[in-house]
Structure 1
């Protein structure tokens, strides 16, 4: 590379000097005032971007090393009054001289981090779910779901430690072309989550509406509140707030109440093994826990009424070789007497990777999901109040496209009658 007047002008464009009127004095004896690049070179020297030699010469026709050019780029990166075009040029030069800049101690990663302050992720998801079970009269029923979900998940950088995050869902029922399965008369558009998150060394905090711990097993929901987390290898997580989603057909609680909600989790991970113990408390009036079952229904006269749910969960996972693994959990609601336990044991092999077309994965699992121990179960094929074996397969036919198939065969817990589900899903990720 030549340190010619051309290279000086390249840097001049970076800092926006070439488009301004220069008033800097000439520091170089070999760049006369009538030279076509006099203004640019003079201003760059005044800004500290370029330096001459001890004999007051610039020597613009002398060879330049990549290291010397990187020094000029580093100084240009430090300037703040840069135009949009100049910022784009800085980014290109920073990428070209990344190795040299890193050797100079210039944090190019910070430049890349701040280049785009708002990031958008999302997906378009088609779901088919066919569930078959027997009602209390012994009649086999079929319930099919055919839905479409459009999800956006923006993340905005506030500073080096804080981000603002959100999840926005739009759902529609493709059977009726007018609404969701839960509300067939109205399409669903909702701000599901919105929270601020601060990440520090061995400490983190969340404020707003977000998912709690165990959202990958029994608490796939949102709550409004706060969470703090401490530690690295050994972690402690504490959260508190309010949750409205408990008012579900699977729970008999006072209508339209919002539960006070607290949780605590202690986790530990070393090498391929992770484990943890978590506790969830939901405080809400008049939760009716049936105590006996007469063969067709739980007794409506023998009911234990309480104002809370207390759920303990133990979980563990082990990664055998980076390809296959084993994970499981056991949960119990100590306030309930029936359907008070939930658990799962799952073996996984490989897994579809959205970045790599042709990748695939498979799994087999046994799940037991007592409805009072798994109030917000995340599992697609095995529902609350069911116990079943599940097999599944996912595949990425193209980059950022993943198809998933699950089949569960088992029984309802309360009636011990057959129940099975065929579940299919296609995700287009962006």
Structure 2
């Protein structure tokens, strides 16, 4: 690390003061008054950003360590009277030296708290589905058709507002447009999530409308939202407790159809355990849902005494062989359902696209079995209600923050084992 980097820091930090007369005295014997950096070095020393070596020398021509540079950045971060231009450069330096700053006990988030109190992220997404579900009129396809193509656009905005050092309020706004029909395309905007999040050492709490994701199975059972509370604690072994209400309109076809005629939401309680200290990851979960809607699901129970509960047990495991290959599997069962009450998945992945790194890509192959009375809202883009089959896919990042993916599912319907169920899916996302 040469003097040029120190010069960049010192010059930038005195931009705002360059128009004024420096009154600070120079404490360093090796920085003469006619040196180009005399004013900058004197002012930064007066501000406590730099200290020299304790023997009245600055040693500006000497290489410095990353640790020494991080010390100067940390002191610059503590300054409150800096211009907007200075703050931008400090942000960049803090990101570059984030590891060293963390070792010094200075979190980069401390710098972010000095910036705007509300931050926005977003995504513009296009998705396409081509479904071929044999003899399933009115279920997944338009009446009288085995084939259905769907085009959808989504604009997603995600603001985060700071409350204090530990608490933030987060939200998600989604605007969806169905472009499958050239005329009369419909759109809607909804507040999909809004919750308060508190972060402490090895402890996190969320309150409000938030994500409902079965982390122990990597989304085999659920990938949706619920209203309630979530608490996560632990270091290597993480325990997550959840309780609240889940909107059944977002469940699979069988449950959501029954919910529309009976009870639109279910009481929910759940616990997840996840352990991932190294290449091996293990998970287990239990979830209870209670709703009269389950009594109206035709495939749920054989007996005349219909259960209004869903008790789902789930396990998952994964192993990362190296930086490229990853194998994962999961299994789930609903003890209350008599039919289509199990789901399982196994997937082998190679590499994987990173949306911030242009040129990254990945491939995967998977076998999925999605019983409709347990895989209520799986995360898979090609997921069809009550099906089993093979899936292959690929993703690619052609440019920074531009993500593309394509996948194909070739399977059978569980209720009609000789009937096909095929889905082609494509996606392009622009993140900002």
Question: What TM-score comes out, normalization by structure 2 length?
Answer: 0.75
Check conservation: 2:13, 2:82, Cα contact below 8 A.
no
User: Given the superposition, is the C-alpha separation of residues 81 and 247 from structure 1 closer, same or farther in structure 2, using an over 3 Å criterion?
Assistant: closer
Query: Any idea what SS the aligned residue of 1:288 has?
Result: helix
Backbone CA RMSD of aligned residues: 4.6
Question: How do residues 359-398 of structure 1 correspond to structure 2 at under 5 angstroms?
Answer: 359-365=361-367, 367-386=368-387, 388-396=388-396, 398=398
Structure 1 equivalent of residue 82 of structure 2: 82
Query: 1:244 and 1:333 mapped to 2: Cα distance?
Result: 18
Q: Does residue 200 of structure 2 align to residue 200 of structure 1? A: yes
Structure 2 equivalent of residue 34 of structure 1: none
Structure 1 equivalent of residue 403 of structure 2: 401
Structure 2 equivalent of residue 357 of structure 1: 359
Check conservation: 2:124, 2:153, Cα contact below 8 A.
no
Check conservation: 2:13, 2:86, Cα contact below 8 A.
no
Check conservation: 1:221, 1:376, Cα contact below 8 A.
yes
Structure 1 equivalent of residue 246 of structure 2: 243
- Give deviations 1:283-309, integer Å, cap 9, x for gaps: 22252266889xxxx98xx64423322
Query: 2:273 and 2:112 mapped to 1: Cα distance?
Result: 32
Alpha-carbon offset, residue 404 of structure 1 = 1.0
Check conservation: 2:381, 2:425, Cα contact below 8 A.
no
Structure 2 equivalent of residue 176 of structure 1: 181
User: Given the superposition, is the C-alpha separation of residues 145 and 41 from structure 1 closer, same or farther in structure 2, using an over 3 Å criterion?
Assistant: closer
Structure 2 unaligned regions, length at least 5: 32-36, 139-143
Range that drifts further, 41-50 or 161-170: 41-50
Query: 1:92 and 1:210 mapped to 2: Cα distance?
Result: 31
Question: How do residues 105-254 of structure 1 correspond to structure 2 at under 5 angstroms?
Answer: 105=104, 107=106, 109=108, 113-114=112-113, 118-135=119-136, 141-177=146-182, 186-214=186-214, 216-246=219-249, 249-251=253-255, 252-253=258-259, 254=261
User: Given the superposition, is the C-alpha separation of residues 83 and 308 from structure 1 closer, same or farther in structure 2, using an over 3 Å criterion?
Assistant: same
Alpha-carbon offset, residue 344 of structure 1 = 2.0
Query: 2:52 and 2:297 mapped to 1: Cα distance?
Result: 87
Structure 1 equivalent of residue 265 of structure 2: 258
Query: Any idea what SS the aligned residue of 2:14 has?
Result: helix
Q: Does residue 290 of structure 2 align to residue 283 of structure 1? A: yes
Structure 2 equivalent of residue 322 of structure 1: 323
Max radius of gyration: which structure? 1
Check conservation: 1:310, 1:333, Cα contact below 8 A.
yes
Structure 2 equivalent of residue 423 of structure 1: 424
Range that drifts further, 420-429 or 159-168: 159-168
What is the aligned length?
406
Query: 1:88 and 1:159 mapped to 2: Cα distance?
Result: 22
- Give deviations 1:122-162, integer Å, cap 9, x for gaps: 2422222323221489x872232222222233444555543
Query: 1:84 and 1:426 mapped to 2: Cα distance?
Result: 38
Check conservation: 2:74, 2:106, Cα contact below 8 A.
no
Query: 1:372 and 1:319 mapped to 2: Cα distance?
Result: 31
User: Given the superposition, is the C-alpha separation of residues 20 and 408 from structure 1 closer, same or farther in structure 2, using an over 3 Å criterion?
Assistant: same
Structure 1 unaligned regions, length at least 5: 32-36
Range that drifts further, 281-290 or 84-93: 84-93
Query: 1:245 and 1:277 mapped to 2: Cα distance?
Result: 23
Alpha-carbon offset, residue 195 of structure 1 = 2.2
User: Given the superposition, is the C-alpha separation of residues 418 and 88 from structure 1 closer, same or farther in structure 2, using an over 3 Å criterion?
Assistant: closer
